[in-house]
Amino acid sequence: MAYQMSIFDSIPYKIQAEQLLKYISEDGQQSDADKEYTEMFEAYKNQDLAKLDEMIRRNDMGIAKFEDLLLNNLNRNWVQKLKTILPEKGITIAVGAGHLPGENGSINLLRKEGYIVKPVKSKVSKQAVI
């Protein structure tokens, strides 16, 4: 957890602050971020990796130049760590939606290492309100 949080220290605080202000400055209306979250939740629930990938590329949240830092490097690091765990036993791996799709996504990287990656069908019928 500490490693994941330390990644944000590599992103200028000004950019982080601008994105946070943008997110909270909606005047009681459903923000674009809320709409995107709902759309991403549906794509995730439907296991639509192409849609997730398209959404990540379309909605970079102002941090597109940090994709390697936030997604790709983290995915590569986890695959290397998983290679030490997986020979001992099969496990269920849960990751955030942004880590799943694409050439550098966790699914593709694990498959390139020779692992069989199978989705687990979601039994969630509606979105929880957080």
- For the entire predicted model, the pTM comes to 0.69
Distance between CA atoms of residues 70 and 63, nearest Å:
9
Inter-residue contact 43 to 52 (CB < 8 Å): yes
Structure confidence by residue, pLDDT tens digits, 68-115? 777 888 899 999 999 988 887 778 888 888 889 999 999 999 999 998
29 domain residue, yes or no: yes
30 domain residue, yes or no: yes
Distance between CA atoms of residues 68 and 73, nearest Å:
5
130 domain residue, yes or no: no
Structure confidence by residue, pLDDT tens digits, 6-18? 777 777 888 878 8
125 domain residue, yes or no: no
Residue 10: domain span: 2-112
118 domain residue, yes or no: no
Overall domain count for the chain:
1
**Residue 107: what pLDDT?**
93
124 domain residue, yes or no: no
127 domain residue, yes or no: no
Total residue count of the chain as it appears in this document: 130
122 domain residue, yes or no: no
Distance between CA atoms of residues 121 and 124, nearest Å:
9
